[in-house]
Structure 1
């Protein structure tokens, strides 16, 4: 299935305007100093007013401008970004070019760029592991970027609604976590789901079965986030 690895503006990454201003002021630089530094080191001509507009949140730098701005402010690109959510944002946070990252993971550059644009993951397990290492991806992000999110949700849903014990190994293949942690998380999901269903059925009056169904669906709709929270992994 297609994997949404990219959202938002196709050219301009999310930008932390307050961080840019704070870093510039800490260096004692004016907007003109920053604009000159970007031009001198990266050959990108900007008016000081453009730098000021970024800091005011009236505009945002392109990917190339963000990299140049980080260089001018003597910081890592990650310091000028919010928390990364997409594959592209994780790459930008480390200041890597698509060409370099594709080479490191052994993937054709065009295939990698299609992946960033929301394409389907076609790489191997080894390439997935290398991608995770190069971009320092948390496990939830890796599973999402490599197209395994739907399968994980399917397994978690079955574990919650049927016998959870039979899903420890399949879930563990997707999310290689300690067995004890997986067992505890799946058992908790199973118990929580059935507790909500039972509580809804015990209500007097109204459509008890309908309420139970809604309570169960609401829990299952967010089951991946519940799973990551219970195993101690933050979902991006």
Structure 2
């Protein structure tokens, strides 16, 4: 269905008289973001769910829209004033308590990686992981567990494997004809590994679709 037909259906079936071809194209090209009512209407025209119309959600607002929920519904579920909740969405700064965070995760059906990102813990996790692989990973088990509520044995295993992965990057990098390059090339590989440490952590812990 082309943009012209989409715009016509939005106007005729969903009372969006302002839905022009240019607006539909702006949505398609990422130059504008549809509101919740617009997204629901668009999904109705295209016979799909709202979540199918956006890329993998990253922000609190995107996750809410992907679930087809209004701000009022989420705010009520987590017991936060709706205006305060909307400010959190706008500034991408979740300020809920542990209990409210748990309810949020359940309401939006967040994966563990998404939960850590939305609650603003990703950078803290990255720092702990960098420390774990560059010093002694055993000292970071409890701290990582406070940021990421996973089974302790899984955290231990993941940190140990990450440590080994990083040390291998730093000590030896396979090169041409089976020889080994050490020094600057290994250092660069190590820095690249550290820059993607959170993604490596989730992958080793069992989450691959990031």
- Compute the TM-score of the two structures, normalised by the length of structure 2: 0.81
Q: 1:203 to 1:130 in 2, by over 3 A?
A: same
For residues 1-236 of structure 1, the aligned pairs below 5 Å read 21=1, 32-39=8-15, 44-46=16-18, 49=21, 53=25, 62-63=34-35, 64-73=37-46, 75-199=48-172, 203=181, 208=183, 210-234=184-208, 236=210
How many Å separate the matches in 2 of 1:98 and 1:198? 51
- Counterpart position of 2:177: none
Q: 1:50 to 1:124 in 2, by over 3 A?
A: same
8 Å contact from structure 1 (residues 228, 234) kept in 2: yes
Q: Which moved further from structure 2: 80-89 or 97-106?
A: 80-89
Q: 1:129 to 1:30 in 2, by over 3 A?
A: closer
How many Å separate the matches in 2 of 1:185 and 1:67? 40
Give secondary structure in 2 for the equivalent of 1:147: coil
Q: How far did 1:167 drift?
A: 1.7
Give secondary structure in 2 for the equivalent of 1:83: coil
Q: String of CA shifts for 1:147-200, please: whole Å, max 9, x gaps.
A: 111211111111111111222222122212222222221011111111111126
How many Å separate the matches in 2 of 1:66 and 1:163? 48
After superposing on structure 2, the runs of 4+ consecutive aligned residues of structure 1 that deviate more than 4 Å are 46-61
How many Å separate the matches in 2 of 1:35 and 1:59? 21
Give secondary structure in 2 for the equivalent of 1:120: coil
User: Relative contact order: is structure 1 or structure 2 higher (C-alpha 8 Å, sep ≥ 6)?
Assistant: 1
State the Cα RMSD in Å: 2.9
Which ranges in structure 2 are unaligned for 5 or more consecutive residues? Answer: 174-179
- Compute the TM-score of the two structures, normalised by the length of structure 1: 0.73
Q: 1:57 to 1:223 in 2, by over 3 A?
A: closer
8 Å contact from structure 1 (residues 140, 234) kept in 2: no
How many Å separate the matches in 2 of 1:144 and 1:106? 21
Aligned length: 202
Q: 1:54 to 1:120 in 2, by over 3 A?
A: closer
